[in-house]
């Protein structure tokens, strides 16, 4: 669990990078930027908003040869060890970003390297470093009085409600490559930020496996359960899957399949589907892991539990109590109308 509200900006350095393929230069500020309280509040909201809105997908620094060869990891480690040298380190980070900015699609922009204190992650307080980049410029209007008239001036600037690129590196788990969050709002240069510049790979922890296994189950339900059974069984399968995760601390695949797969004939289908699709979710060799409760809660919010009918009627099934849908909802075929139907049993209508 991440809590960004107590965080304070200890220092911030501002630079600019251009596109090398277009012969644009980099500009390095001579000194760190001096903040006042108003500016600090605005910048924190600008930096943190996408991380509050986005699902927590953690990464770690990596390198094909050795972690010490990852340029950003090396610079971040230096900054954590000696924060007073942060501005010089920020120049190294910006130069490395500039060196990767050689594809025609990559946009020039401002770079912010920020040292934060009082970050709270997994109920632990730590410091962190943020690297952010603003790219897209937007038109905005300013007004001024000139003699007896009010004039409009068209200016360009960044939208502080939308960060283009950013990452936050938490000062923990250094030996494993730190714990890192990253966002990239612009997908026209997907590898530039995450891979070429930062050198990040997904952090394969309990949150990663819980989230990915449930995504895998969701696609199995859509691709296999729905064609083999019907929409009701697709929804019920996911209900049972999520509830199994919610009531267990650890995942064991055999126990999972025995509990959630009501049709035993689909178990071999599930195993075949895992061989085929498992690598996409990095779970092909995974059958045991600890369950992350937050990942289960996030998945429950995103999985649809509604049957949409072509007669403009929706049937919403209870995600917490799927047995109600199995006991009190029946599907059938009406020969006279040549239509399917759902029969719903109840004692009384509940007041909304």
Residue 301: its pLDDT value, please?
79
Contact (Cβ atoms closer than 8 angstroms) between residue 193 and residue 278: no
Domain check: are 169 and 287 in the same one?
no
| 336 confidence band (pLDDT: 50, 70, 90) | confident
Provide the residue count of the chain. 352
One domain for residues 155 and 248 = no
Question: Would you tell me how many other CB atoms lie within 10 Å of the CB of residue 291?
Answer: 20
**Pair 97, 37 in one domain:** yes
**Three-class SS of residue 228?**
helix
Residue with tokens 């009384």: 348
Nearest by Cα to 76 from 198, 205, 203: 198
Q: Does 76 map to a domain?
A: yes
Residue 24 inside a domain? The answer is yes
Question: 24 by DSSP, 3-state: which?
Answer: coil
Structure tokens at 76: 């971040």
Within this chain, do residues 223 and 116 fall inside the same structural domain, yes or no? no
Shared domain for 192 and 272, answered yes or no, is no
* Choice between 159 and 86, residue whose per-residue pLDDT is larger: 86
Ranges of H-type helices in 113-205: 190-191
Measured distance CA(350)–CA(190) in Å, rounded: 49
> Is residue 349 a part of any domain in this protein?
no
Assigned domain for 351 exists: no
User: Is the Cβ–Cβ distance between 291 and 250 less than 8 Å?
Assistant: yes
- The burial class, CB within 10 Å (0-12 / 13-18 / 19+), for 134 is buried
Q: CA 114 to CA 46: how far, in whole Å?
A: 13
Instruction: Tokens 């029969």: give the residue.
Output: 343
Quick one: 70 and 98 in the same domain? Answer: yes
Average pLDDT rounded to a whole number, residues 89-103: 94
One domain, residues 31 and 136: yes
pLDDT (0 to 100) of residue 322: 58
> What global pTM score does this model have?
0.78
Compute how many other C-beta atoms are within 10 angstroms of the C-beta atom of residue 178.
25
Question: What's the CA gap between 319 and 317, in Å, rounded?
Answer: 6
In which band, very low, low, confident or very high, does the pLDDT at 128 lie, cut at 50, 70 and 90? Answer: very high
pLDDT at 73 over 80: yes
What token pair was written down for 211?
Answer: 């989230």
**pLDDT at residue 230 in the model:** 82
| Contact assessment for residue 236 and residue 326, using Cβ atoms and an 8 Å cutoff | yes
The percent of residues in the chain predicted with pLDDT above 70, rounded, is 97
Residue 240 in domain: yes
Q: Are residues 165 and 179 in the same domain?
A: yes
Count the Cβ atoms, other than its own, within 10 Å of residue 235.
24
Per mean pLDDT, which range of 5-14, 198-207, 228-237 is the poorest?
228-237
Are 56 and 198 within one domain? yes
Q: Is residue 308 part of a domain?
A: yes
Q: Quote the pLDDT of residue 176.
A: 93
Q: What are phi and psi of 189, to 5 degrees?
A: -140, 55
- Is the pLDDT assigned to residue 323 strictly greater than 70? no
Please count the structural domains in the chain: 2
The predicted structure's pLDDT at residue 21: 85
Flag whether pLDDT at 291 surpasses 90. Answer: yes
Residue pair 111/15 in contact by the 8 Å Cβ criterion: yes
Tokens of 7: 């965080």
Using the 3D structure, point to which of 203, 238, 258 is the last residue of a domain.
203
pLDDT given at position 84: 94
C-beta separation of 325 from 317 below 8 A = yes
263 secondary structure, DSSP code: S
94 in the same domain as 8:
yes
Last residue in a domain, options 159, 183, 203:
203
In a domain, 75, yes or no: yes
Whether 78 contacts 89, CB under 8 Å: yes
Report the range of poorest mean pLDDT among 24-33, 214-223, 242-251, 296-305. 296-305
Distance separating the N- and C-terminal Cα atoms of the chain: 33
Is residue 316 located within the same domain as residue 211? yes
For residue 69, the model assigns a pLDDT of 95
Note whether 283 and 204 are within 8 A (CB): no
Q: What is the extent of the structural domain holding 176?
A: 2-203
Q: What is the pLDDT of residue 179?
A: 95
Residue 319 has pLDDT above 60, yes or no: no
Return the H-helix or E-strand segment holding 227.
helix 226-228
Strands 27-28 and 138-146: unpaired
Residues 186, 300, single domain; the answer is no
């Amino acid at each position: 669990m991440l809590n960004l509200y107590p965080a304070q900006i200890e220092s911030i350095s501002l630079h600019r990078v251009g596109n090398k393929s277009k012969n644009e230069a980099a500009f390095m500020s001579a000194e760190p930027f001096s903040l006042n309280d108003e500016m600090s509040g605005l910048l924190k909201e600008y930096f943190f908003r996408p991380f509050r809105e986005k699902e927590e997908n953690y990464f770690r620094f990596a390198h094909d040869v050795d972690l010490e060869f990852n340029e950003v990891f090396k610079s971040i480690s230096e900054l954590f060890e000696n924060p007073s040298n942060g501005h010089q380190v920020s120049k190294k980070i910006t130069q490395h970003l500039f060196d990767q900015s050689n594809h025609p699609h990559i946009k020039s922009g401002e770079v912010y390297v920020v040292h934060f204190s009082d970050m709270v992650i997994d109920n632990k307080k730590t410091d962190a470093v943020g690297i952010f980049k603003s790219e897209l410029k937007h038109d905005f209007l300013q007004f001024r009085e000139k003699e007896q008239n009010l004039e409009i001036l068209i200016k360009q600037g960044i939208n502080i409600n939308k960060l283009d690129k950013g990452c936050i590196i938490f000062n923990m788990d250094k030996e494993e490559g730190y714990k890192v969050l990253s966002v990239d709002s612009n997908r026209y240069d997907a590898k530039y930020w995450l891979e070429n510049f930062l050198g990040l790979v997904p952090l394969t922890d309990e949150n990663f496996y819980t989230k990915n296994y449930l995504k895998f189950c969701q696609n199995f339900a859509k691709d296999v359960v729905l064609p083999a059974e019907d929409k009701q069984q697709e929804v019920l399968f996911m209900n049972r899957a999520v509830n199994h995760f919610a009531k267990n601390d650890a995942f064991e695949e055999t126990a999972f399949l025995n509990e959630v797969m009501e049709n035993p004939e689909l178990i071999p289908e599930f195993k075949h589907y895992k061989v085929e699709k498992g690598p996409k979710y990095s779970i092909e060799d995974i059958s045991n892991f600890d369950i992350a409760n937050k990942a289960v809660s996030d998945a429950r919010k995103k999985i649809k539990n509604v049957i949409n009918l072509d007669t403009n009627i929706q049937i919403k099934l209870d995600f917490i109590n799927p047995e109600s849908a199995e006991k009190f909802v029946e599907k059938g075929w009406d020969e006279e109308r040549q239509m399917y139907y759902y029969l719903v049993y109840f004692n009384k209508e509940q007041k909304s």
